[in-house]
Amino acid sequence: MRDVILDLDGVLLDFESAWVKQAVLVLERPVARISNVHEMGVRYGLTDEEKSRVWDACDNGEFWSDIPLLPHARELVDGLEDMGFRVFGVTAVHPELLDARVSSLDGLIPSGRLVCVGAPKVAGAADKTDAIHRIRPLAFLDDHPAHVDQAANAGVPISVWLDNGCYADVPPPEHIDVAVINHPMDFLENLRSVAG
Ligand SMILES: [Mg+2]
């Protein structure tokens, strides 16, 4: 069985729309995206106090178990399985959120194939390298440049960066073998030549 690893937020799950919905509920006013900076409070022009209130609400409610799938998510996973791949999810959130991630994925990836590698409130700093070494996938897809570099450096043959414009303040992947796509469904093309 050939395995692939997908990131969740920004690849299969619409984290951003869920966070914005939470912000509007908590702040009781509309919020608008003012930049493509990765950090959500900065991206939506919130004060530090407002940002903390939004994150606290996220961490104390049903937020993490109710993040919607992106429109293409099911088609992407089905397409990969049709091509003969087994799909894993590796996500930079704390392991205590595993059940919530399973719930948001709505059956798309079983819990036994999900790995949470993050620490509370420092998701961006998480390292996926150990999970990559354990699963040893043929291919890896993520929208965070650092995680794609971790895959390429771990020797994943097809390491792909989804450049979705959400990390404007983060340098692009450094590894020379990283492929770049602009839509998650393009990942199927990266795998076409090795599909079984
Ligand atoms: Mg992501």
Break the chain into its structural domains and give their ranges. Answer: 2-14+68-195, 15-64
pLDDT tens by residue, 171-189: 999 999 999 999 999 999 9
Query: How many angstroms does the Cα of residue 128 sit away from the middle of ligand 1?
Result: 12
Of 135, 149, 105, 121, which Cα lies nearest the Cα of 11? Answer: 105
Any idea what the Cα angle at residue 6 is, between residues 55 and 63, rounded to 5°? 25
Q: What 3-state class would DSSP assign to 103? A: helix
- Encoded tokens for 9: 């937020």
Query: How many angstroms does the Cα of residue 57 sit away from the middle of ligand 1?
Result: 21
Query: How many angstroms does the Cα of residue 147 sit away from the middle of ligand 1?
Result: 9
Query: How many angstroms does the Cα of residue 194 sit away from the middle of ligand 1?
Result: 24
Residue with tokens 């150990």: 130
Q: Is the pLDDT of residue 121 over 70?
A: no
pLDDT tens by residue, 143-154: 999 999 999 999
Query: How many angstroms does the Cα of residue 91 sit away from the middle of ligand 1?
Result: 8
Q: The whole model's pTM is what?
A: 0.94
Query: How many angstroms does the Cα of residue 14 sit away from the middle of ligand 1?
Result: 10
Query: How many angstroms does the Cα of residue 44 sit away from the middle of ligand 1?
Result: 18
Residue 178: CB partners within 8 Å, gap ≥ 6?
148, 149, 152, 159, 160, 161
Q: Is the pLDDT of residue 15 over 70?
A: yes
CA distance linking residue 65 with residue 133, whole number of Å:
28
Q: Is the pLDDT of residue 124 over 60?
A: no
pLDDT tens by residue, 58-98: 988 899 999 999 999 999 999 999 999 999 999 999 999 99
Q: What 3-state class would DSSP assign to 196? A: coil
pLDDT tens by residue, 30-60: 999 999 998 999 999 999 999 999 999 998 8
Q: In the prediction, which pLDDT does 1 show?
A: 63
Pick the CATH number of 2-14+68-195 from 1.20.120.160, 3.30.465.10, 3.40.50.1000, 3.40.50.10420: 3.40.50.1000
CA distance linking residue 113 with residue 170, whole number of Å:
28
